[in-house]
Amino acid sequence: MGRRKARVADRLVVVWRVTETCNLSCAFCRYDRRQPFERKSADRERVLAIGELLAEHQRRSGISVHVSFLGGEPLLWPPFVDIVRAFRHDFSLGTGVTTNGTLVGSPEIFRAVLDAIDELTVSIDGFAAFHDRVRGWPGGFERLRRSMTDFVTAKRQLGRGPLLRANMVLMRENIDDFASLAHELARIGFDELTFNQLGGNDRPEFFALHRLLPAQVEHFVGALPALRSELAEIGLNIRGSASYLERISASTHERRLPVSDCAPGERFLYLTEAGIASPCSFTADTLGVPLASPRIGELSVAFRGARSRSKSCADCPSTRVFGKFA
């Protein structure tokens, strides 16, 4: 491919891993609570200091900044409620969170999300038989159905609240349920549905047994346009560009898709719990730099100069580069 060139950015999305702690045992995930490694979390004061830098960058550049928190499970991070309120109301930053949904029903978090989050993304991988098993959460799907129904009701009563998005990890066993799950999510009141293919970096032993098959992807891609139209009529938008579908298809055929220029750092930044910034999560180890100065706009130049150190760009796995949210 090697042809991707970004337009001048009018929005900077910052995805921030604030904790490696999680309370579920998802068999495909690095942060599975059963995995034996030391879990790190972000320092509250460092996060606030970086929040001020991002707010200053927004004021100086005129580019809107949206900060999306993830983990691990970000709702387990003790400062979460205070931080999102500060980012939204004190710093005037856009806010989002990606969660497994286990804690959304907690009254304090429920109120904070309604009040201070612009985009709430909930991980839902299928109906109860699959979702509960693969995530190690008995009764989890039904709990999500109830808590999300309550959340939609509260949004409608208040007349405000975040965009509600579901994200599904597509695997060999659940891809055929995508359409029926999409209809169920529409009935609950979700606004958007995104998806990503099962990846192999975190748990290669699980990936080998559950990765998508080429024939499954071919059928999925062929059926998606009609499903998009059908669901849009009842209020659910299914995201994912043609390039994104091409990325998924290429992966199943083990075909490499290099990207020569993703405009690193212009539209997207990934931050670790230590405040290390990189163009994406796949380049944090090779291109990461501390985000400790107000010159955020200069990161792109530094990232471009160092890209030769990253092997990921030769077969880019970044969902954002290929238009997951388009």
* Per-residue pLDDT at 116 exceeds 80: yes
- Contacts with 59 (C-beta within 8 Å, 6 or more apart), sequence order: none
Residue 3 — pLDDT band, cuts 50, 70, 90? very low
For the segment 148-176, the average pLDDT, to the nearest whole number, is 97
Residue 19's pLDDT is what? 98
Give the tens place of pLDDT for each residue, 215-233: 999 999 999 999 999 999 9
Give the number of other CB atoms < 10 A from CB of residue 226: 10
Lowest mean pLDDT among 67-71, 90-94, 214-218, 314-318: 314-318
Lowest mean pLDDT among 100-114, 139-153, 308-322: 308-322
User: Which pair of structure tokens corresponds to residue 16?
Assistant: 């921030």
Q: What are phi and psi of 165, to 5 degrees?
A: -120, 140
For the segment 272-278, the average pLDDT, to the nearest whole number, is 96
* Per-residue pLDDT at 1 exceeds 60: no
* Per-residue pLDDT at 85 exceeds 70: yes
User: Which pair of structure tokens corresponds to residue 303?
Assistant: 């990232």
- Contacts with 34 (C-beta within 8 Å, 6 or more apart), sequence order: 25
- Contacts with 296 (C-beta within 8 Å, 6 or more apart), sequence order: 12, 53, 54, 57, 269
For the segment 98-113, the average pLDDT, to the nearest whole number, is 97
**How are beta strands 237-238 and 268-271 bridged, if at all?**
unpaired
Residue 6's pLDDT is what? 39
Mapped onto helix, strand or coil, the DSSP state of residue 41 is strand
Residue 140's pLDDT is what? 98
Residue 294's pLDDT is what? 67
* Per-residue pLDDT at 22 exceeds 50: yes
For the segment 62-90, the average pLDDT, to the nearest whole number, is 98
* Per-residue pLDDT at 293 exceeds 80: no
CATH number of 11-315, picked from 3.40.50.1980, 3.40.50.2300, 3.40.50.620, 3.20.20.70:
3.20.20.70
Number of H helices, E strands in the chain: 11, 10
The radius of gyration computed from the CA coordinates of the chain, to the nearest angstrom, equals: 19
Residue 99's pLDDT is what? 98
Give the tens place of pLDDT for each residue, 4-16: 333 446 899 999 9
Say how far apart CA 169 and CA 182 lie, in whole Å. 13
User: Which pair of structure tokens corresponds to residue 41?
Assistant: 């979390």
User: Half-sphere exposure of residue 151, counting CA atoms within 13 Å on the CB side?
Assistant: 34
Q: How many residues does the chain have?
A: 326
Give the tens place of pLDDT for each residue, 129-151: 999 999 999 999 999 999 999 99
Residue 9's pLDDT is what? 62
* Per-residue pLDDT at 323 exceeds 90: yes
Sheet holding 94-99, edge to edge: 237-238, 192-197, 163-170, 119-123, 94-99, 64-70, 11-17, 268-271, 276-278, 289-290
Do the beta carbons of residue 284 and residue 272 sit within 8 Å? yes
Residue 25's pLDDT is what? 98
Q: What are the domain boundaries of the chain?
A: 11-315
Say how far apart CA 47 and CA 53 lie, in whole Å. 10
Do the beta carbons of residue 215 and residue 176 sit within 8 Å? no
**Mean pLDDT for the chain overall:** 94
Q: Which one-letter DSSP state was computed for residue 200?
A: S
Strands (E), 147-221: 163-170, 192-197
The residues facing 197 across adjacent strands are 170
